[in-house]
């Protein structure tokens, strides 16, 4: 097919020869699967109809939606840096997956004339967009109107996946988990600060997830020294309106001990939204709990034991008294009892203490989704103001001011969140097909990051999967065919 280059022979086995050839081989065959998920959910058309492209149409080589496909698929496949687009420029699967052109056109190469620079206005893109092109995309997406479209796309992806898998119907009930998480940075990016709680220099974004579904519903970047509850009211209330309009009939809110402030709790109560939150222990609550911190009469149990007591409590900063549930835990072999408090606007008749505790403990599932966003996708929020000192090895004729690095980093985080939702939608199909749970890491390693070869036969491109790497694809494809959001419109 092209030039063969023998690299070396293995010393441990002289019959083994390592060669480099111009083959259409990839290690990211799952990019095709993820692009198919986006296509069947109609996310591309939704984004294309709403995003603003500030570029001059006469100088565009890569359409904006292809650039967004490139960024989302790179992040979902585990390629963190925009420089990776240069490395994967000629990867056949990525070229097929990001392109809107049909047939084998995405694989066709237009020969460059002698001395022609790669990015100088080719009539047809002959590879993935370069790192500078992707950087300009992210800067364009940092415009207020585009950033809001990206933010809304997270909920839209969840709505479309749920309706496609439920015959066009919304969920009856959704629990919206709101939490903060640290995104560690390695530099002095604007807005990042050393956070003593996390012992690192971080951003401290707010994230909302749909507990029963697994999707991320919204993400808002905040400075690293932001308090857990900073901006929570403005973040939660508008999102609740959209969730109950598009995703479910009834939504409740679940938050941890850093969020309960009177303004937020009162706003949730005023709109009739059920909530449950943990409350930090304090001297007044501990005095209320003292009569109940006694072990029951009898031999200590061999297993951990929990009992629940109903209380009422009003903090000095609160406008009213609220229901508080005391949870006492006894662990065999430990001298002291452990206890904590939950606050809620559910009445005892609507939800008793045992069920409330069980509902709160399910926060662990949402924390697992956030852990996958941070540890599996691992967003690199590295944008910082750096004036361009050279362009193609020469001093630039003009220097342009740097973009707003904080907003650019928020766009990068939103693109990672969208990539997470797309990968999660594919992961859910695999879980339904196999009847077992899949972590995102396992799904990526066994299904997405698999080797394949692309052949061109006539005017068709054929993706050939290895016997081992392709073992899971036959299971997921029947489920993928049911993912038809467009047909429900």
- Place 1 in a pLDDT band, splitting at 50, 70 and 90: very low
Write out the residue range of the structural domain in which residue 132 sits: 22-107+126-142+402-488
User: Which residue, 295, 310, 344, sits at the end of a domain?
Assistant: 344
Summarize the confidence of residues 431-437 as an average pLDDT. 92
Please report the pLDDT score of residue 4 as a whole number. Answer: 61
Residue 47: inside a domain, yes or no? yes
Summarize the confidence of residues 222-237 as an average pLDDT. 95
**Longest distance between any two alpha carbons in the chain, whole Å:** 91
| Residue 361 to residue 308: CA distance in whole angstroms | 14
Helices 363-372 and 353-361, axial angle in degrees (round to 10): 10
pTM of the model: 0.91
Same domain, 27 and 132: yes
Same domain, 411 and 326: no
Residue entry with tokens 């990001």: 98
User: Is residue 122 over pLDDT 60?
Assistant: no
User: Is residue 113 over pLDDT 70?
Assistant: no
Contact between 158 and 417 (Cβ < 8 Å): no
Residue of higher predicted confidence among 357 and 101: 357
Summarize the confidence of residues 163-178 as an average pLDDT. 93
Same domain, 131 and 43: yes
Please report the pLDDT score of residue 116 as a whole number. Answer: 45
Summarize the confidence of residues 438-452 as an average pLDDT. 93
- Place 172 in a pLDDT band, splitting at 50, 70 and 90: very high
Please report the pLDDT score of residue 175 as a whole number. Answer: 96
Same domain, 48 and 133: yes
Residue of higher predicted confidence among 6 and 313: 313
From the centroid of its chain, how far is CA 243? Answer: 17
| Residue 304 to residue 326: CA distance in whole angstroms | 17
User: Judging by DSSP bridges, how do beta strands 216-220 and 305-313 pair with one another?
Assistant: unpaired
Please report the pLDDT score of residue 61 as a whole number. Answer: 86
pLDDT digits (tens, 9 = 90+) for 315-357: 999 999 999 999 999 888 888 899 999 999 999 999 999 999 9
Please report the pLDDT score of residue 441 as a whole number. Answer: 95
Residue 441: inside a domain, yes or no? yes
Summarize the confidence of residues 215-226 as an average pLDDT. 96
Residue of higher predicted confidence among 14 and 238: 238
Residue 380: inside a domain, yes or no? no
Question: What is the overall mean pLDDT for the chain?
Answer: 89
Please report the pLDDT score of residue 228 as a whole number. Answer: 92
User: Which residue, 298, 315, 344, sits at the end of a domain?
Assistant: 344
Same domain, 314 and 425: no
Residue of higher predicted confidence among 280 and 105: 280
Summarize the confidence of residues 108-125 as an average pLDDT. 54
Contact between 386 and 425 (Cβ < 8 Å): no
- Place 448 in a pLDDT band, splitting at 50, 70 and 90: very high
Same domain, 333 and 439: no
Summarize the confidence of residues 203-224 as an average pLDDT. 96
Which of 22, 100, 19, 116 lies closest to 62 in space, CA to CA? Answer: 100
User: Which residue, 295, 313, 344, sits at the end of a domain?
Assistant: 344
Summarize the confidence of residues 389-401 as an average pLDDT. 67
Residue 269: inside a domain, yes or no? no
- Which string of b and e fits 70-85 if b means at least 16 CB within 10 Å? bbbbbbbbbbeebebb
User: Is residue 19 over pLDDT 90?
Assistant: no
Please report the pLDDT score of residue 151 as a whole number. Answer: 96
Residue 192: inside a domain, yes or no? no
Residue 162: inside a domain, yes or no? no
Residue of higher predicted confidence among 125 and 155: 155
Same domain, 335 and 407: no
Summarize the confidence of residues 47-61 as an average pLDDT. 90
Summarize the confidence of residues 123-152 as an average pLDDT. 89
Which of 426, 436, 440 lies closest to 39 in space, CA to CA? Answer: 426
Residue 172: inside a domain, yes or no? no
Please report the pLDDT score of residue 227 as a whole number. Answer: 93
Overall number of domains in the chain: 2
Tokens of 183: 């995104």
pLDDT digits (tens, 9 = 90+) for 60-98: 889 999 999 999 999 999 998 888 888 898 899 999 999
Same domain, 55 and 138: yes
Summarize the confidence of residues 419-425 as an average pLDDT. 97
Q: 193: exposed, middle or buried (C-beta count within 10 Å: 0-12, 13-18, 19+)? A: middle
Please report the pLDDT score of residue 67 as a whole number. Answer: 95
pLDDT digits (tens, 9 = 90+) for 192-213: 999 998 999 999 999 999 999 9
pLDDT digits (tens, 9 = 90+) for 155-164: 999 999 999 9
Summarize the confidence of residues 218-245 as an average pLDDT. 96
Residue 435: inside a domain, yes or no? yes
Summarize the confidence of residues 431-454 as an average pLDDT. 93
Q: What is the DSSP string of 324-393?
A: EEEEEEE-TT-SS-EEEEEEESS-TTTS-HHHHHHHHHTHHHHHHHHHHIIIII-------------BTT
Please report the pLDDT score of residue 205 as a whole number. Answer: 96
Q: What is the DSSP string of 384-410?
A: -------BTTB--SS------HHHHHH
Listed range (245-254, 330-339, 445-454) with the worst mean pLDDT: 330-339
Please report the pLDDT score of residue 399 as a whole number. Answer: 64
User: Is residue 20 over pLDDT 80?
Assistant: no
- Place 488 in a pLDDT band, splitting at 50, 70 and 90: low
């Amino acid at each position: 097919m092209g030039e063969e280059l023998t690299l070396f022979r293995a010393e441990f086995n002289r019959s083994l020869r390592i060669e480099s050839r111009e083959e259409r081989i990839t290690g990211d065959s799952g990019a095709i699967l993820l692009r198919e998920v986006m296509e069947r959910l109609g996310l591309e058309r939704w984004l294309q109809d709403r995003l603003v492209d500030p570029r001059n149409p006469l100088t565009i080589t890569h359409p904006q939606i292809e650039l967004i496909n490139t960024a989302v698929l790179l992040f979902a496949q585990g390629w963190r840096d925009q420089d990776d687009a240069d490395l994967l420029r000629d990867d056949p699967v990525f070229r097929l997956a990001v392109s809107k052109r049909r047939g084998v056109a995405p694989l066709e190469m237009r020969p460059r004339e002698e001395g022609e620079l790669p990015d100088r206005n080719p009539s047809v893109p002959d590879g993935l967009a370069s790192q500078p092109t992707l950087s300009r995309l992210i800067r364009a997406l940092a415009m207020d109107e585009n950033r809001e479209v990206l933010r809304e796309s997270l909920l839209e992806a969840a709505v479309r996946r749920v309706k496609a898998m439920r015959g066009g119907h919304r969920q009856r009930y959704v629990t919206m988990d709101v939490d903060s998480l640290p995104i560690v940075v390695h530099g002095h990016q604007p807005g990042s600060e050393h956070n003593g709680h996390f012992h690192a220099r971080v951003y401290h974004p707010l994230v909302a997830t749909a507990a029963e579904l697994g999707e991320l519903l919204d993400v808002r970047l905040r400075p690293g020294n932001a308090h857990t509850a900073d901006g929570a009211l403005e973040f939660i209330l508008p999102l609740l309106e959209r969730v109950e309009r598009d995703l479910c009939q009834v939504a409740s809110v679940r938050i941890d001990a850093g969020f309960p402030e009177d303004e937020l709790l009162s706003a949730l109560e005023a709109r009739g939204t059920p909530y449950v939150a943990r409350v930090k222990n304090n001297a007044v609550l501990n005095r209320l709990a003292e009569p109940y911190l006694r072990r029951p009469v009898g031999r200590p149990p061999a297993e951990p034991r929990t009992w629940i007591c109903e209380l009422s409590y009003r903090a000095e900063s609160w406008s009213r008294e609220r229901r508080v549930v005391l949870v006492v835990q006894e662990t065999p072999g430990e001298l002291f009892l452990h206890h904590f408090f939950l606050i809620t606007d559910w009445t005892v008749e609507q939800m008793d203490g045992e069920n409330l505790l069980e509902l709160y403990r399910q926060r662990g599932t949402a924390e697992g989704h956030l852990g996958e966003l941070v540890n599996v996708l691992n967003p690199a929020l590295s944008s910082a103001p750096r004036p361009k000192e050279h362009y193609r090895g020469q001093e630039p004729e003009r220097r342009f001011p740097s973009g707003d690095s904080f907003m650019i980093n928020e766009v990068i985080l939103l693109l990672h969140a969208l990539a997470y939702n797309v990968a999660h939608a594919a992961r859910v199909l695999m879980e339904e097909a196999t009847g077992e749970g899949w972590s995102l890491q396992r799904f990526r390693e066994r299904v997405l990051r698999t080797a394949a070869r692309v052949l061109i036969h006539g005017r068709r491109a054929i993706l050939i999967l290895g016997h081992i790497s392709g073992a899971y694809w036959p299971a997921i494809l029947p489920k993928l065919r049911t993912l038809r959001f467009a047909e429900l419109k």
